[in-house]
Copies of this chain bind each other. A is one copy, B any other.
Amino acid sequence: MSERIVPRTFKGTRDFLPPEMMERERIGTILRGIFRRYGFAPLETPAIEYLDVLLGKYGDEADRLIFRLAYKDAATAALRYDLTVPLARVISQYPQIPRPFKRYQIQPVWRAETPQLRQGRFREFYQCDVDVIGSSSILADAEIVAVTEEALSALGFERFRIRINHRKILAGIVEAAGLGPEWDLPVCRAIDKLDKIGHEGVAEELVRAGVSEEARARLATILEMRGEARAVLAAVEPSLAATASGPAGVAEMRRLLGELDALGVDGGHIAFDLYLSRGLDYYTGPIFESVLPDYPHIGSLTGGGRYDRLIGLFTGDPVPATGTTIGLDRIMTALEQSGGLQKAGSPTVCLVTQFEEATLPAALALATRLRRAGVPTEVYYDPDRLKKQFAYADKRAIPFVAVLGPDEAAAGKVTLKTMETGEQQLLDQDQAVATLVGALRPGAGAPQT
């Protein structure tokens, strides 16, 4: 074995120590519960994919960020870059999977970026994707928005907004401004930057792209329509009436808004935002993104839309698809900044002290009773002085300490100390178990079986 190694994490990656991991597991449990209640099923794919499966899906710049393995040669295998391309591969590889296929997937992805830790840009980070594959129904898009809204609410966010737009409406707006379909992408890329560069910046971008003054004026007139989603839709509808894709976009958007209502989604969380276009050119229908108005610097917490062309790259036939990515790292950041994180150092609710050799069996038996009742319980490992054992509980923020001396053990009793108040009670062990079960945060220690 070698000499002492300097312990350090690979640049751009992180260890998740217990306080953060406990929150990540709590969030994962909440999200999985919501996904499943909508009938989404879990999928996992390997970290390693053949390189040709990954290359050419994300653009040249992204291709350079794919982490390759030094396996045979670096042109053979690589680490997955996102969860969408592996999903497309799965759909194509297993034609027996019934469609529509509703899946969620929560796994890390890797990008060989220059890490910018302050901006939360890492080389290894979790993605959480929810998608419906194989349905053109707008109801599938509505469910993705409903899942997003329910997830953000369940995680404790109150003020958030899910921005929605539609690629066909954007195309209609471009056409209504007198521009051909070749202008879709440059115009979308420019207006999508509104949050970062403001209206003037967008205007400059459009000039730089070569959009004429007349077209810019027409674009501005339509894009400025703001207000309640249905009002915006009604206002924009006449301008798009004569365009190729505008009316279909308006009809689908109207349907989407109606279905969100019927699904009980809080309309206060939904915003129809004509500027939203999201950079990627693979979106083909509704697009959505959620943001926290109080924390604009965090960026979007979720983002997605309908992408009816990507899966076909693998299957050969077009397969409609819609979905969203939920950004777990940004959600952690937002919860941290809004005080919504519960940072406990350990799951333990009760520390049973070890008084002396003779009472250890009684201490272990009490610990087992507590564990079987669902109370996360530790037994102190050595018969140290009680002061030291209390200090241990204090350091870990363990809320209760059970002291079992010879008298208590003989009488089937226990002294239960509440660490926060310092209060000590001599209780029957039955009472102590009941007290501790009552003190559990809901779900904290209970098995989910």
- Report the minimum CB–CB distance from A188 to chain B (whole Å): 18
In Å, the complex CA distance between A89 and B17 comes to 12
A47 touches B108 (CB 8 A): yes
Choose the segment among A63-71, A198-206, A242-250 that binds chain B (4+ C-beta atoms closer than 8 Å): A63-71
Closest to A374 in B: B37
> In the complex, which residues of chain B have a beta carbon less than 8 angstroms from the beta carbon of A40?
347
- Report the minimum CB–CB distance from A234 to chain B (whole Å): 20
Whether, in the assembled complex, A323 has its beta carbon less than 8 Å from a beta carbon of chain B, the answer is no
Q: A110-B47, A442-B449 are in contact. Are A135 and B381 (CB under 8 A)?
A: yes
In Å, the complex CA distance between A261 and B368 comes to 11
Contact with B along A119-138 (1 / 0, CB 8 A): 00001100000001001010
B21 touches A447 (CB 8 A): no
Whether, in the assembled complex, A212 has its beta carbon less than 8 Å from a beta carbon of chain B, the answer is no
Q: A39-B348, A374-B37, A449-B154 are in contact. Are A15 and B381 (CB under 8 A)?
A: no
Whether, in the assembled complex, A18 has its beta carbon less than 8 Å from a beta carbon of chain B, the answer is yes
> In the complex, which residues of chain B have a beta carbon less than 8 angstroms from the beta carbon of A90?
7, 15, 17
Contact with B along A371-389 (1 / 0, CB 8 A): 1001111110110000000
B347 touches A262 (CB 8 A): no
A44 touches B16 (CB 8 A): yes
- Report the minimum CB–CB distance from A433 to chain B (whole Å): 13
Closest to A367 in B: B263
B44 touches A15 (CB 8 A): yes
Q: A402-449: which residues lie under 8 A (CB-CB) from chain B?
A: 442-443, 445-449
Task: Pick the contact of A445: B4, B36, B74 (CB < 8 A).
Answer: B36
A262 touches B449 (CB 8 A): no
In Å, the complex CA distance between A381 and B132 comes to 11
Task: Pick the contact of A18: B43, B45, B46, B132 (CB < 8 A).
Answer: B43
Q: A24-40: which residues lie under 8 A (CB-CB) from chain B?
A: 24-26, 29-30, 32-34, 36-40
In Å, the complex CA distance between A447 and B34 comes to 7
In Å, the complex CA distance between A257 and B94 comes to 50
Whether, in the assembled complex, A333 has its beta carbon less than 8 Å from a beta carbon of chain B, the answer is no
B345 touches A10 (CB 8 A): no
Closest to A52 in B: B5
- Report the minimum CB–CB distance from A31 to chain B (whole Å): 10
A446 touches B33 (CB 8 A): yes
Whether, in the assembled complex, A341 has its beta carbon less than 8 Å from a beta carbon of chain B, the answer is no
Whether, in the assembled complex, A360 has its beta carbon less than 8 Å from a beta carbon of chain B, the answer is yes
> In the complex, which residues of chain B have a beta carbon less than 8 angstroms from the beta carbon of A116?
none
Whether, in the assembled complex, A314 has its beta carbon less than 8 Å from a beta carbon of chain B, the answer is yes
In Å, the complex CA distance between A346 and B97 comes to 11
In Å, the complex CA distance between A258 and B367 comes to 15
Whether, in the assembled complex, A192 has its beta carbon less than 8 Å from a beta carbon of chain B, the answer is no
In Å, the complex CA distance between A132 and B18 comes to 14
Task: Pick the contact of A381: B47, B140, B445, B449 (CB < 8 A).
Answer: B140
Whether, in the assembled complex, A42 has its beta carbon less than 8 Å from a beta carbon of chain B, the answer is yes
> In the complex, which residues of chain B have a beta carbon less than 8 angstroms from the beta carbon of A375?
37
Q: A13-B48, A39-B378, A44-B15 are in contact. Are A33 and B112 (CB under 8 A)?
A: no
In Å, the complex CA distance between A8 and B262 comes to 41
A314 touches B5 (CB 8 A): yes
> In the complex, which residues of chain B have a beta carbon less than 8 angstroms from the beta carbon of A237?
none
Contact with B along A85-108 (1 / 0, CB 8 A): 000011011100110101100001
> In the complex, which residues of chain B have a beta carbon less than 8 angstroms from the beta carbon of A24?
42, 44
- Report the minimum CB–CB distance from A348 to chain B (whole Å): 4
Task: Pick the contact of A13: B46, B97, B360 (CB < 8 A).
Answer: B46
Closest to A258 in B: B361
Which of A93, A97, A449 gathers most chain B CB within 10 Å?
Answer: A449
In Å, the complex CA distance between A250 and B24 comes to 43
Whether, in the assembled complex, A57 has its beta carbon less than 8 Å from a beta carbon of chain B, the answer is yes
A345 touches B56 (CB 8 A): no
> In the complex, which residues of chain B have a beta carbon less than 8 angstroms from the beta carbon of A52?
2, 5
Contact with B along A355-372 (1 / 0, CB 8 A): 000001100110110010
Contact with B along A318-333 (1 / 0, CB 8 A): 0000000000000000
Whether, in the assembled complex, A298 has its beta carbon less than 8 Å from a beta carbon of chain B, the answer is no
Q: A5-B53, A39-B378, A47-B79 are in contact. List 4 more A-B contacts (CB 8 A).
A: A1-B56, A10-B49, A10-B50, A29-B447
